[in-house]
Amino acid sequence: MGFSDDPLKYGVISTLSPNRTGITAALTDFLFRNGANLLGSYAVKQGTTYSASLYFCARASAMQRIQEALVRDLAEFSPRFAESGPPEEATTPHAYELSIYAFDRAGIVKQTSELLGRTDVDIVAAAGCQYSAPEVAVPLYVVQMRVHARDEASVRRVSEDLERMADQNGWSLVFERADQKNASHTPASLPVPPRSAVAFGVRGLC
């Protein structure tokens, strides 16, 4: 069978299970044994729970084997499979990174994602985490997103809306082109910017 008769397919496996040592090893071993090539992954422990997402490609024949063996071999991790497509181009003319630094309260991510949706901006990667701020009573919450805007007009509109939202809520934010990202930047308006927040980035998590 030639490659033309066995085309390349793409898929994503996601898992959610109690945390234990060796989960990532088990998932990647499963893909390797079944002829898949891992293209991207993300995994995180939250409390006592471990979740993972693995993006991979395999020939159609191998992809069929993977789907058939998934629940049998990885039942412990409650796996789910979804078909996907090939990777997007690494760069896009309107790729931006958004960082929000705020004293924690409910609704920060909700409000931000709703604003982006209203301006037709696509969130392609997102991460967030709470950090303790010993100097004040309220912890700091940091949100970072990589987004794709439709055009320059959309970029201008969302930039203005984000600035207005930040002013109304007392947040500090950075919205800049992905290829101009400066990982060492920390907004000066924050009274207690933790060092860990400076290195916290979407690129490091995806």
pLDDT digits (tens, 9 = 90+) for 94-135: 899 999 999 999 999 999 999 999 988 999 999 998 888 777
Tell me whether residue 143 is exposed, middle or buried, using C-beta atoms within 10 angstroms of its C-beta: 0 to 12, 13 to 18, 19 or more: buried
* Structure token pair of residue 159: 């930039």
CATH class of 3-84: alpha beta
The CA–CA distances, whole Å, from 202 to 16, 94, 98, 124, 181 equal 21, 17, 10, 10, 11
Q: What is the pLDDT of residue 91?
A: 55
Domain ranges for the chain, please list them.
3-84, 95-205
Do residues 76 and 137 touch, judged by C-beta distance below 8 A? Answer: no
Q: What is the pLDDT of residue 191?
A: 38
Residue 65 has a CB neighbour count (10 Å cut-off) of 15
**Which SS3 state, helix, strand or coil, does residue 47 take?**
coil
Q: Which pTM was predicted?
A: 0.69
Q: What is the pLDDT of residue 123?
A: 94
Q: Percentage helix, strand, coil, to 5, in the chain? A: 35, 35, 30
User: What's the pLDDT tens digit per position in 23-64?
Assistant: 999 999 999 999 999 999 999 998 999 999 999 999 999 999
In this structure, the dihedral spanned by the alpha carbons of residues 118, 120, 122 and 128, taken in order and rounded to 10 degrees, is -20
Q: Which fold has domain 95-205?
A: Alpha-Beta Plaits (3.30.70)
Query: Whole-angstrom Cα distance, residue 67 to residue 126?
Result: 28
User: What's the pLDDT tens digit per position in 143-162?
Assistant: 999 999 989 999 999 999 99
Do residues 108 and 127 touch, judged by C-beta distance below 8 A? Answer: no
* Structure token pair of residue 80: 């789910």
Same fold, 3-84 and 95-205: yes
